[in-house]
Structure 1
């Protein structure tokens, strides 16, 4: 052995080899994770400060928002009564079945009671509450329970709109109530953090956090066609419907409305901009006057473009004109291809529908169209949809 090593005590040599081995192992371990972000649960520049996993958000911001807003979030219970005793009732009421038993009352019909659960939030201190129309649809009785209270207040429906899936309720609590403000959903961006509060599966005031995953999502749920939903990965489940989706200012940017039954972590909310545009009508008129042109539309295909001599596939083909509707009164016909609406180009049927929906009922609009290869225009008066 080299004389240098002979002069070093054996214990120090062992310690040195162990230390070297640990260094090599540490380098190998770090190298196996090359390319992954370096995370720490402590702030490296300020060792005494807790690590914040949400950049730009203070560690107390979300709890503060929840604490401030939760008193304005309510639980909505509904009751619906219907006649009939159960699954056997149709058989006993069927004439073919009853002929074997005469007209005796084999199974007296008993009323059935259906119960529903949803969420909502208070928008004015005198007790006006926003929720989804599908939460209270068909209800014979509606009760609202405030946060931290056992007492349920009877609620009356002030106004609702099935197409928009919005409803306004009113309770009389005998005192001023906490409220939550409506924010600007138009300014929210994909990737912005949002907070959902509601009563999923009856678990009162459950809080979930996520981001805006997409904007302007169309979606069909049963017989409802939504046009412009916010998509979020903040968990939304049955019972969350009607509850608020909040930005980090504690403002409502959406009303939690629907989930994708085939996927986890995909929920949808009605933008607050939609609510703002119709709230006064819901309160003062009990409903919303939907602008209506009175046509059924289809997309322009290559075959249609060639047949009608169109230069491209833009526009909306009129498949049917409703008799007595605004389009019929203006002289539009089946087979006309609408290419312009009140100064805006029409790219497809959905584009035209959006333009009509943004028109005030009673307004006169210029409609440009192509008929048998010739460009024409008419003036139509937009009416309210019955």
Structure 2
């Protein structure tokens, strides 16, 4: 004989099983093989911020990933943009040293592929993609990711990525879905005055239901296949959606200029510094919506099939 309490417990258990069953069926573990390969393929991209040639200071700028076994890597143009030095007239006068840091912690000098500083610079800027090369191959094991076709992924397909967000010294793996594909007309203007339009391109993008933060830029967006060997890169992580980022950045920069350590104390805490830290946290925080630019653009620039 079943007592009322037991009947209620059975009903609740069955309800939980029914509710969770679709989730467990849809959820697909990446598995050890996938995670290991993507970890071995991504690197933290570093830019030297010091003007003292005898004392280089490298800081994290974003993520990059190997695209072949010759040591070439892809990333976003905006990730390496601070490495390019211009004069007041907008002319390039130099390039800061860059390096990559592998999963093993090995730091290797790298360089921007020369064409992206010259004939491919405008296209790299418009499509936000660039190729870099490690000056020497990593001593530790590394993998490269096959580049696929952006046209082969559908809205709703499962994706994953790996990168170095928020300046963290370790990688973060994230999973999600490709939500909505769209096109955007992007224009480039001259750096000289008066500014004139020098080029415009339509680029293919997609919204992602995928948590990324600053530092993820330049990482691979990978289509999840039925088997690890079926996975391929469909795009490069290029932006996050944060409607409060600009305002929060403005607040943080304003307080920083006002010397946050010299203001009044509230309950033993400097209010200016606290506000600045909160604003920085808001500016860098993801709300779970991000974006990808098609890998087809980089392949077209390089004339890769």
TM category (shorter chain) comes to 0.5 to 0.7
Q: Distance in 2 between matches of 1:116 and 1:207?
A: 18
Q: Distance in 1 between matches of 2:211 and 2:70?
A: 30
Equivalent positions of 1:245-324 (< 5 A) are 245-248=221-224, 249-262=230-243, 264-280=287-303
User: Larger helix proportion, structure 1 or 2?
Assistant: 2
What does the per-residue CA deviation read over 1:91-111, in whole Å, with 9 as the maximum and x for residues that have no partner? xxxxxxxxxxxxxxxxxxxxx
Q: Could you tell me which residue of structure 2 aligns to residue 70 of structure 1?
A: 39
Gap change, CA 1:62 and 1:193, over 3 Å in 2: farther
Q: Could you tell me which residue of structure 1 aligns to residue 208 of structure 2?
A: 232
Pairs aligned (count) = 220
User: Would you say the 8 A contact 1:124–1:177 is kept in 2?
Assistant: no
Structure 2's unaligned 5+ residue stretches are 84-95, 117-123, 190-199, 225-229, 244-285
Q: Distance in 1 between matches of 2:146 and 2:79?
A: 21
1:171 to 134, 145, 148: 134
Q: Distance in 2 between matches of 1:127 and 1:152?
A: 13
Bigger Rg over Cα:
1
User: Would you say the 8 A contact 1:245–1:253 is kept in 2?
Assistant: yes
Q: Could you tell me which residue of structure 1 aligns to residue 101 of structure 2?
A: 145
TM-score norm. by structure 2 comes to 0.62
1:82, distance to aligned residue in structure 2 (A)? 7.2
User: Would you say the 8 A contact 1:235–1:267 is kept in 2?
Assistant: yes
Q: Which stretch of structure 1 is more off in the superposition, 252-261 or 64-73?
A: 64-73
Gap change, CA 1:22 and 1:121, over 3 Å in 2: same
**Aligned with 2:135: secondary structure?**
coil
Equivalent positions of 1:7-18 (< 5 A) are none
TM-score norm. by structure 1 comes to 0.50
**Aligned with 2:288: secondary structure?**
coil
Structure 1's unaligned 5+ residue stretches are 1-15, 42-50, 84-112, 282-386
2:67 to 100, 123, 141: 123
User: Would you say the 8 A contact 2:127–2:203 is kept in 1?
Assistant: no
**Aligned with 2:143: secondary structure?**
coil
